[in-house]
Structure 1
Amino acid sequence: MPLHTRAALRQQPASPDTATFRTALRRLVGGVSVVTVGRGEDRTGLTATSVSSLSAEPPTVMFGLNLASSSFPLLGRHRAFGVNFLTAAQAKVADRFAGRGGEKGAARYAGVEWSEGPTGAPLLVGALAALDCEVEDLIERHSHAIVIGRVREIRLGSENAALAYWRGNYERLGWLPEEASAALGLRSD
Protein backbone atom coordinates (compact mmCIF):
# COMPACT_ATOMS: atom_id res chain seq x y z
CA MET A 1 0.00 0.00 0.00
CA PRO A 2 1.45 3.40 -0.96
CA LEU A 3 2.58 5.59 1.92
CA HIS A 4 0.08 8.42 1.19
CA THR A 5 -2.82 5.89 1.28
CA ARG A 6 -1.75 4.56 4.70
CA ALA A 7 -1.51 8.10 6.05
CA ALA A 8 -4.97 8.92 4.74
CA LEU A 9 -6.39 5.84 6.47
CA ARG A 10 -4.85 6.88 9.79
CA GLN A 11 -6.32 10.38 9.52
CA GLN A 12 -9.95 9.30 9.11
CA PRO A 13 -12.13 10.60 11.95
CA ALA A 14 -13.47 8.18 14.52
CA SER A 15 -17.10 7.10 14.28
CA PRO A 16 -19.54 9.30 16.19
CA ASP A 17 -20.63 7.96 19.54
CA THR A 18 -24.06 6.34 19.84
CA ALA A 19 -25.51 8.99 22.18
CA THR A 20 -24.63 11.83 19.81
CA PHE A 21 -26.03 9.87 16.86
CA ARG A 22 -29.34 9.31 18.68
CA THR A 23 -29.51 12.99 19.69
CA ALA A 24 -28.99 14.04 16.08
CA LEU A 25 -31.71 11.70 14.79
CA ARG A 26 -34.21 12.99 17.37
CA ARG A 27 -33.99 16.28 15.49
CA LEU A 28 -35.41 14.61 12.39
CA VAL A 29 -39.21 14.73 12.43
CA GLY A 30 -40.74 11.31 11.81
CA GLY A 31 -44.29 10.11 11.34
CA VAL A 32 -45.31 7.62 14.03
CA SER A 33 -46.56 4.21 12.93
CA VAL A 34 -47.34 0.99 14.72
CA VAL A 35 -46.05 -2.08 12.91
CA THR A 36 -48.03 -5.21 13.79
CA VAL A 37 -46.94 -8.82 13.30
CA GLY A 38 -48.41 -12.22 14.04
CA ARG A 39 -51.88 -13.60 14.70
CA GLY A 40 -53.99 -14.45 17.74
CA GLU A 41 -51.89 -14.82 20.87
CA ASP A 42 -48.76 -15.18 18.71
CA ARG A 43 -48.60 -11.48 17.92
CA THR A 44 -46.73 -8.39 18.95
CA GLY A 45 -45.63 -5.17 17.34
CA LEU A 46 -43.59 -2.04 17.68
CA THR A 47 -43.72 1.70 17.32
CA ALA A 48 -41.67 2.89 14.34
CA THR A 49 -40.61 6.24 12.96
CA SER A 50 -38.50 4.70 10.20
CA VAL A 51 -41.34 3.61 7.90
CA SER A 52 -40.81 4.87 4.38
CA SER A 53 -42.13 4.36 0.88
CA LEU A 54 -39.73 2.36 -1.28
CA SER A 55 -41.70 2.13 -4.52
CA ALA A 56 -45.10 3.13 -5.87
CA GLU A 57 -45.02 0.51 -8.65
CA PRO A 58 -45.41 -1.97 -7.12
CA PRO A 59 -46.50 -0.41 -3.81
CA THR A 60 -43.67 -1.25 -1.41
CA VAL A 61 -42.60 0.08 2.00
CA MET A 62 -39.58 -0.41 4.23
CA PHE A 63 -38.60 0.13 7.85
CA GLY A 64 -35.77 -0.67 10.26
CA LEU A 65 -36.25 -3.40 12.87
CA ASN A 66 -33.91 -4.24 15.72
CA LEU A 67 -32.78 -7.87 15.48
CA ALA A 68 -33.27 -8.22 19.25
CA SER A 69 -36.91 -7.11 18.97
CA SER A 70 -39.62 -9.60 19.90
CA SER A 71 -41.19 -8.75 16.51
CA PHE A 72 -38.25 -10.04 14.47
CA PRO A 73 -38.84 -13.81 14.92
CA LEU A 74 -42.60 -13.41 14.39
CA LEU A 75 -41.99 -11.46 11.21
CA GLY A 76 -39.80 -14.28 9.93
CA ARG A 77 -42.41 -16.87 10.92
CA HIS A 78 -45.55 -15.13 9.59
CA ARG A 79 -43.94 -13.23 6.65
CA ALA A 80 -46.57 -10.47 6.90
CA PHE A 81 -47.07 -7.24 8.81
CA GLY A 82 -49.36 -4.24 9.14
CA VAL A 83 -48.27 -0.61 9.10
CA ASN A 84 -50.68 1.71 10.90
CA PHE A 85 -50.16 5.49 10.55
CA LEU A 86 -51.26 7.01 13.86
CA THR A 87 -53.43 10.05 14.51
CA ALA A 88 -52.39 12.61 17.12
CA ALA A 89 -55.09 11.13 19.40
CA GLN A 90 -53.39 7.71 19.33
CA ALA A 91 -50.25 8.56 21.34
CA LYS A 92 -51.23 5.97 23.98
CA VAL A 93 -51.22 3.28 21.30
CA ALA A 94 -47.73 4.40 20.28
CA ASP A 95 -46.57 4.25 23.91
CA ARG A 96 -48.03 0.76 24.38
CA PHE A 97 -46.29 -0.61 21.28
CA ALA A 98 -43.06 1.13 22.29
CA GLY A 99 -43.20 -0.89 25.53
CA ARG A 100 -43.42 2.20 27.75
CA GLY A 101 -46.08 0.63 30.00
CA GLY A 102 -44.42 -2.79 30.10
CA GLU A 103 -47.00 -4.49 27.85
CA LYS A 104 -45.65 -7.32 25.73
CA GLY A 105 -46.99 -9.49 22.94
CA ALA A 106 -50.75 -9.64 22.46
CA ALA A 107 -51.30 -7.37 25.50
CA ARG A 108 -50.17 -4.42 23.35
CA TYR A 109 -53.41 -4.73 21.36
CA ALA A 110 -55.74 -4.06 24.32
CA GLY A 111 -58.00 -1.05 24.46
CA VAL A 112 -58.45 -0.31 20.76
CA GLU A 113 -60.25 -1.96 17.85
CA TRP A 114 -58.38 -4.07 15.30
CA SER A 115 -59.34 -5.75 12.06
CA GLU A 116 -57.45 -8.28 9.97
CA GLY A 117 -55.96 -7.69 6.53
CA PRO A 118 -55.83 -10.29 3.74
CA THR A 119 -52.41 -11.52 4.97
CA GLY A 120 -53.77 -11.88 8.51
CA ALA A 121 -51.87 -8.83 9.77
CA PRO A 122 -53.66 -6.78 12.47
CA LEU A 123 -54.80 -3.35 11.20
CA LEU A 124 -55.79 -0.53 13.56
CA VAL A 125 -59.34 0.73 13.11
CA GLY A 126 -59.27 4.54 13.16
CA ALA A 127 -55.67 4.95 11.94
CA LEU A 128 -54.91 7.62 9.33
CA ALA A 129 -54.17 4.73 6.99
CA ALA A 130 -53.31 1.06 7.41
CA LEU A 131 -51.22 -1.05 5.04
CA ASP A 132 -51.34 -4.84 4.92
CA CYS A 133 -47.96 -6.10 3.70
CA GLU A 134 -46.15 -9.31 2.77
CA VAL A 135 -42.43 -9.53 3.52
CA GLU A 136 -40.39 -9.35 0.31
CA ASP A 137 -36.98 -9.16 1.90
CA LEU A 138 -35.17 -8.91 5.24
CA ILE A 139 -31.69 -7.40 4.92
CA GLU A 140 -29.66 -7.76 8.11
CA ARG A 141 -27.09 -5.06 8.82
CA HIS A 142 -25.39 -4.42 12.14
CA SER A 143 -28.03 -4.42 14.93
CA HIS A 144 -31.05 -4.08 12.62
CA ALA A 145 -32.81 -5.52 9.60
CA ILE A 146 -34.23 -3.50 6.75
CA VAL A 147 -37.70 -4.93 6.23
CA ILE A 148 -39.12 -4.58 2.73
CA GLY A 149 -42.81 -5.31 2.30
CA ARG A 150 -45.14 -5.47 -0.69
CA VAL A 151 -48.41 -3.69 0.09
CA ARG A 152 -51.39 -6.02 -0.48
CA GLU A 153 -54.17 -3.79 0.81
CA ILE A 154 -54.57 -0.14 1.80
CA ARG A 155 -57.25 1.10 4.18
CA LEU A 156 -57.67 4.86 4.33
CA GLY A 157 -58.98 6.28 7.58
CA SER A 158 -59.72 9.75 8.84
CA GLU A 159 -57.92 12.93 7.86
CA ASN A 160 -57.23 13.85 11.49
CA ALA A 161 -54.01 15.42 12.69
CA ALA A 162 -51.03 13.08 12.49
CA LEU A 163 -48.77 11.89 15.32
CA ALA A 164 -45.15 12.89 14.77
CA TYR A 165 -41.97 12.25 16.77
CA TRP A 166 -39.51 15.08 17.32
CA ARG A 167 -36.85 15.82 19.94
CA GLY A 168 -37.74 12.69 21.90
CA ASN A 169 -41.46 13.50 22.21
CA TYR A 170 -44.70 13.04 20.34
CA GLU A 171 -46.04 16.08 18.53
CA ARG A 172 -49.26 16.81 16.73
CA LEU A 173 -48.93 17.61 13.04
CA GLY A 174 -51.81 19.26 11.19
CA TRP A 175 -55.21 20.61 12.03
CA LEU A 176 -58.64 19.15 11.76
CA PRO A 177 -60.65 20.86 9.00
CA GLU A 178 -62.90 22.63 11.54
CA GLU A 179 -59.83 23.86 13.48
CA ALA A 180 -58.30 25.29 10.32
CA SER A 181 -61.57 27.06 9.45
CA ALA A 182 -61.85 28.52 12.95
CA ALA A 183 -58.22 29.68 12.93
CA LEU A 184 -58.72 31.40 9.59
CA GLY A 185 -62.02 32.94 10.68
CA LEU A 186 -64.00 31.00 8.07
CA ARG A 187 -67.52 29.85 8.64
CA SER A 188 -68.23 26.13 8.39
CA ASP A 189 -71.83 26.33 7.04
Structure 2
Amino acid sequence: MSVVTPFPKTASRIHDDPPSFRQAFRHLAGGVSVITTGHGDERTGLTATSVSSLSAEPPTLMFGLNLSSSSFPVLARNRSFGVNFLNAAQKQVADRFAGRNGEKGAARYAEAEWTSGIAGAPLLVGALAALDCEVEEIIERHSHAIIIGRVRDVRLGDNDAALVYWRGDYERLGWMTEEVGTALGLRTF
Protein backbone atom coordinates (compact mmCIF):
# COMPACT_ATOMS: atom_id res chain seq x y z
CA MET A 1 0.00 0.00 0.00
CA SER A 2 1.42 3.38 -0.94
CA VAL A 3 0.97 6.45 1.18
CA VAL A 4 0.41 9.78 -0.53
CA THR A 5 1.59 12.80 1.40
CA PRO A 6 -0.44 15.91 0.54
CA PHE A 7 1.21 19.25 -0.12
CA PRO A 8 1.15 21.66 2.80
CA LYS A 9 -1.79 24.04 2.82
CA THR A 10 0.61 26.88 1.94
CA ALA A 11 1.57 25.25 -1.37
CA SER A 12 0.65 27.22 -4.47
CA ARG A 13 -2.06 25.60 -6.56
CA ILE A 14 -2.35 28.24 -9.25
CA HIS A 15 -2.45 26.47 -12.61
CA ASP A 16 -1.29 29.27 -14.88
CA ASP A 17 1.37 31.11 -12.88
CA PRO A 18 4.69 31.55 -14.75
CA PRO A 19 6.65 32.82 -11.69
CA SER A 20 5.61 29.78 -9.65
CA PHE A 21 6.44 27.52 -12.60
CA ARG A 22 9.95 29.04 -12.87
CA GLN A 23 10.43 28.78 -9.10
CA ALA A 24 9.44 25.11 -9.17
CA PHE A 25 12.00 24.33 -11.88
CA ARG A 26 14.77 26.03 -9.91
CA HIS A 27 14.52 23.04 -7.58
CA LEU A 28 15.45 20.70 -10.44
CA ALA A 29 19.24 20.62 -10.69
CA GLY A 30 20.51 20.64 -14.24
CA GLY A 31 23.84 20.52 -15.99
CA VAL A 32 25.00 23.85 -17.42
CA SER A 33 25.79 24.00 -21.11
CA VAL A 34 26.69 26.79 -23.46
CA ILE A 35 25.02 26.60 -26.87
CA THR A 36 27.14 28.29 -29.55
CA THR A 37 26.28 29.19 -33.12
CA GLY A 38 27.28 31.53 -35.93
CA HIS A 39 30.55 32.58 -37.54
CA GLY A 40 32.81 35.62 -37.17
CA ASP A 41 31.04 38.72 -35.89
CA GLU A 42 27.71 36.88 -36.07
CA ARG A 43 28.80 34.39 -33.38
CA THR A 44 26.41 34.26 -30.48
CA GLY A 45 25.08 31.78 -27.98
CA LEU A 46 23.31 31.18 -24.72
CA THR A 47 23.55 29.33 -21.44
CA ALA A 48 21.16 26.39 -21.24
CA THR A 49 20.10 23.89 -18.59
CA SER A 50 17.51 22.17 -20.78
CA VAL A 51 19.87 20.04 -22.89
CA SER A 52 18.87 16.39 -23.04
CA SER A 53 19.89 13.35 -25.03
CA LEU A 54 17.19 12.20 -27.42
CA SER A 55 18.67 9.13 -29.08
CA ALA A 56 21.98 7.29 -29.20
CA GLU A 57 21.24 5.75 -32.62
CA PRO A 58 21.53 8.11 -34.36
CA PRO A 59 23.14 10.42 -31.79
CA THR A 60 20.71 13.30 -31.30
CA LEU A 61 19.95 15.79 -28.55
CA MET A 62 17.40 18.48 -27.84
CA PHE A 63 17.02 21.70 -25.92
CA GLY A 64 14.56 24.56 -25.54
CA LEU A 65 15.29 28.02 -26.96
CA ASN A 66 13.19 31.14 -26.42
CA LEU A 67 11.87 32.43 -29.76
CA SER A 68 12.65 36.01 -28.67
CA SER A 69 16.32 35.15 -28.00
CA SER A 70 18.84 36.91 -30.23
CA SER A 71 20.43 33.47 -30.74
CA PHE A 72 17.32 31.91 -32.29
CA PRO A 73 17.49 33.54 -35.76
CA VAL A 74 21.26 32.95 -35.98
CA LEU A 75 20.89 29.27 -35.12
CA ALA A 76 17.94 28.86 -37.51
CA ARG A 77 19.91 30.50 -40.33
CA ASN A 78 23.23 28.69 -39.72
CA ARG A 79 21.67 25.27 -39.00
CA SER A 80 24.68 24.23 -36.89
CA PHE A 81 25.49 24.65 -33.22
CA GLY A 82 27.79 23.49 -30.47
CA VAL A 83 26.78 22.15 -27.07
CA ASN A 84 29.51 22.67 -24.50
CA PHE A 85 29.10 20.98 -21.10
CA LEU A 86 30.74 23.30 -18.58
CA ASN A 87 33.04 22.25 -15.77
CA ALA A 88 32.92 23.87 -12.33
CA ALA A 89 35.76 26.28 -13.20
CA GLN A 90 33.81 27.74 -16.16
CA LYS A 91 31.18 29.73 -14.24
CA GLN A 92 32.37 32.95 -15.91
CA VAL A 93 31.65 31.43 -19.33
CA ALA A 94 28.13 30.55 -18.16
CA ASP A 95 27.65 34.10 -16.87
CA ARG A 96 28.86 35.68 -20.15
CA PHE A 97 26.58 33.49 -22.29
CA ALA A 98 23.67 34.21 -19.95
CA GLY A 99 24.36 37.93 -20.52
CA ARG A 100 24.58 38.57 -16.78
CA ASN A 101 26.92 41.53 -17.33
CA GLY A 102 25.33 42.71 -20.58
CA GLU A 103 27.52 40.75 -23.01
CA LYS A 104 25.91 40.09 -26.39
CA GLY A 105 26.87 38.30 -29.57
CA ALA A 106 30.57 37.69 -30.23
CA ALA A 107 31.53 39.45 -26.95
CA ARG A 108 30.32 36.34 -25.12
CA TYR A 109 33.32 34.42 -26.51
CA ALA A 110 35.89 36.61 -24.72
CA GLU A 111 38.37 35.18 -22.23
CA ALA A 112 37.95 31.55 -23.36
CA GLU A 113 39.61 29.41 -26.01
CA TRP A 114 37.47 28.19 -28.91
CA THR A 115 37.87 25.86 -31.86
CA SER A 116 35.52 24.87 -34.70
CA GLY A 117 33.74 21.58 -35.10
CA ILE A 118 33.29 19.71 -38.37
CA ALA A 119 29.80 21.22 -38.80
CA GLY A 120 31.32 24.65 -38.15
CA ALA A 121 30.04 25.36 -34.65
CA PRO A 122 32.30 27.05 -32.07
CA LEU A 123 33.44 24.52 -29.43
CA LEU A 124 34.88 25.43 -26.03
CA VAL A 125 38.37 24.12 -25.36
CA GLY A 126 38.44 22.61 -21.85
CA ALA A 127 34.73 21.82 -21.62
CA LEU A 128 33.73 18.52 -20.01
CA ALA A 129 32.46 17.58 -23.46
CA ALA A 130 31.78 19.55 -26.64
CA LEU A 131 29.25 18.30 -29.18
CA ASP A 132 29.23 19.59 -32.75
CA CYS A 133 25.67 19.44 -34.10
CA GLU A 134 23.54 20.15 -37.14
CA VAL A 135 19.91 21.19 -36.79
CA GLU A 136 17.66 18.26 -37.63
CA GLU A 137 14.37 19.88 -36.69
CA ILE A 138 12.96 23.02 -35.07
CA ILE A 139 9.55 22.66 -33.44
CA GLU A 140 7.94 25.92 -32.30
CA ARG A 141 5.68 25.68 -29.27
CA HIS A 142 4.35 28.59 -27.23
CA SER A 143 7.23 30.97 -26.36
CA HIS A 144 10.01 28.50 -27.24
CA ALA A 145 11.38 26.23 -29.93
CA ILE A 146 12.49 22.68 -29.35
CA ILE A 147 15.78 22.31 -31.19
CA ILE A 148 16.66 18.77 -32.23
CA GLY A 149 20.25 18.37 -33.30
CA ARG A 150 22.16 15.53 -34.93
CA VAL A 151 25.54 15.14 -33.25
CA ARG A 152 28.35 15.08 -35.84
CA ASP A 153 31.37 15.10 -33.55
CA VAL A 154 32.04 14.57 -29.83
CA ARG A 155 35.11 15.93 -28.08
CA LEU A 156 35.69 14.78 -24.51
CA GLY A 157 37.58 16.88 -21.97
CA ASP A 158 38.91 16.07 -18.54
CA ASN A 159 36.80 14.24 -16.00
CA ASP A 160 36.42 17.36 -13.85
CA ALA A 161 33.63 18.56 -11.58
CA ALA A 162 30.51 19.66 -13.42
CA LEU A 163 28.82 23.04 -13.24
CA VAL A 164 25.15 22.65 -12.31
CA TYR A 165 22.28 25.10 -11.97
CA TRP A 166 20.20 24.73 -8.83
CA ARG A 167 17.92 27.12 -6.93
CA GLY A 168 18.73 30.02 -9.21
CA ASP A 169 22.53 29.83 -9.01
CA TYR A 170 25.50 27.83 -10.25
CA GLU A 171 26.95 25.09 -8.06
CA ARG A 172 29.64 22.50 -8.54
CA LEU A 173 29.17 18.76 -8.59
CA GLY A 174 32.21 16.58 -7.99
CA TRP A 175 35.93 17.25 -7.77
CA MET A 176 38.31 18.96 -10.17
CA THR A 177 41.20 16.78 -11.41
CA GLU A 178 43.83 18.63 -9.36
CA GLU A 179 41.70 18.29 -6.20
CA VAL A 180 41.59 14.51 -6.59
CA GLY A 181 45.39 14.36 -6.70
CA THR A 182 45.70 16.60 -3.65
CA ALA A 183 43.10 14.60 -1.70
CA LEU A 184 44.92 11.38 -2.49
CA GLY A 185 48.31 12.88 -1.61
CA LEU A 186 49.57 12.60 -5.18
CA ARG A 187 51.91 15.09 -6.76
CA THR A 188 50.90 16.51 -10.12
CA PHE A 189 53.48 17.77 -12.58
TM-score (norm 2): 0.88
Q: Which has the larger radius of gyration?
A: 1
Mapping 1:24-63, distance limit 5 Å:
24-63=24-63
Gap change, CA 1:177 and 1:127, over 3 Å in 2: closer
Mapping 1:1-189, distance limit 5 Å:
15-177=15-177, 179-180=179-180, 183=183, 186-188=184-186
Separation in 2, partners of 1:130, 1:176: 18
State, as a whole percentage, how many aligned pairs show the same letter.
Answer: 71
- For structure 2, the 5+ residue unaligned runs are 1-12
Do the aligned partners of 1:97 and 1:108 also contact (CA within 8 Å) in 2?
yes
- Deviation, structure 1 residue 188: 3.0
**Alpha-carbon deviations, 1:133-165, whole Å to 9, x = none?**
000000000000000000000011111111000
Which stretches of structure 1, 4 residues or more, deviate above 6 A after TM superposition? none
Separation in 1, partners of 2:178, 2:132: 31
Do the aligned partners of 1:38 and 1:81 also contact (CA within 8 Å) in 2?
yes
DSSP-derived class of the 2:63 partner:
strand
Do the aligned partners of 1:40 and 1:106 also contact (CA within 8 Å) in 2?
yes
What amino acid sits opposite 1:49 in the alignment?
T
Separation in 2, partners of 1:77, 1:188: 49
Separation in 2, partners of 1:142, 1:176: 39
- For structure 1, the 5+ residue unaligned runs are 1-12
Separation in 1, partners of 2:126, 2:70: 25
Gap change, CA 1:181 and 1:123, over 3 Å in 2: closer
Do the aligned partners of 1:47 and 1:94 also contact (CA within 8 Å) in 2?
yes
- Deviation, structure 1 residue 178: 5.1
- Deviation, structure 1 residue 16: 3.5
Do the aligned partners of 2:135 and 2:150 also contact (CA within 8 Å) in 1?
yes
Query: In structure 1, what is the equivalent of residue 9 of structure 2?
Result: none
